[in-house]
Amino acid sequence: MRRLNNSRDATPDPAQLEAFDALVLEAEPRVDGPNAIQSLRPFGHELLDLGLGASESYQRSPEEEARLRATELARRGRRLDAIMVLRQLVHDAPAEVEGRVLLATLLEEVNEIEQALDELAKAIQQAPQQAALLVRRGALYARMGRSSEAERDFREARRQDTSYCPAYRYLGTTLLRRGVLGEAVTVLREALRLAPDDPDATLYLGEALATQGQHEEALSLLGRASELAPSDPRAFKLLGRLLDRLGRTEEAMSMHRKAREVTSA
């Protein structure tokens, strides 16, 4: 049964207004909390900037209007309505790449994984530059635990664009998780060469080197990663574990404490 906003509700839920405008219309469908598209997930960020929030001084195309409408519906927690809008968009404009990517994101949010993969496959077929989309699909495979398919997409993205850092970073991370340490280190070093200030490439290379036993370089890289992303607890956690392994207990305790502080901030 749908729950509607009611100004006379004896138990209002202020949490439902987080990230939304404070204006609530009487009889507007209620949500249990913000349900916007997640933007930061493992393997899921820095892949493709759709530019959906940009304001334009010219008249928008029907495709742009549909994408913006779907984005607003998703922001308000109405993902199924957003999916309907985007399904109609890609039906009317089969070559619409950005709409398919946004549709794939929403389909994953509602756990329709195979449909999301299908939309990404169609987007890849239509896109003139495919590396970013291949990495996006590989990221989805990785989140599903389908590492061989993820690795295939990351390798193909690297082949298509040898200067695209995310392809190296995600390929190296996938190899690291599979225990292929030698190649993982090589690939992650290349990612870091392409983007010296990339915190994730720095972090994962440090982790790979620590796993290999190259402790001093690993400490240096993990320290650098903590400087590049001071609000991310992962580097502090890995530093704590590595310092524990090296018997540097006081320093390790300091890193574990910092990780807890960052996590709770």
- Tens digits of residue pLDDT in 131-157: 999 999 999 999 999 999 999 999 999
pLDDT attached to residue 59: 81
CB 106 within 8 A of CB 74: yes
At residue 162, φ and ψ (nearest 5 deg) are -70, -5
The pLDDT value given to residue 259: 96
Q: Where are the domains of the chain?
A: 145-265
Q: Which regions in the chain score pLDDT beneath 50?
A: 1-42, 44-56
Fold of 145-265: 1.25.40
Provide the pLDDT for residue 94: 93
Q: In the prediction, which pLDDT does 265 show?
A: 79
Any idea which residue has 């909390």 for tokens?
A: 33
Please give the Cα distance from 220 to 10 (Å, whole number).
Answer: 56
- 3-class DSSP assignment, residue 9: coil
Phi and psi for 187 in degrees, rounded to 5? -70, -40
How many angstroms separate the CA atoms of 222 and 45, rounded? Answer: 20
Our CA dihedral for 131, 198, 36, 93, rounded to 10 degrees, sits at: -20
Q: CA-to-CA distance for 235 and 227, rounded, in angstroms?
A: 9
CA nearest neighbour of 135 among 87, 114, 127: 127
| Res 185: pLDDT | 97
- Distance in angstroms (rounded) separating the CA atoms of residues 78 and 75: 7
Query: What tokens appear for 186 in the block?
Result: 């090589």
**Would you state the pLDDT for residue 24?**
31
User: Which of helix, strand or coil describes residue 77?
Assistant: coil
Biggest CA-to-CA distance, the chain? 64
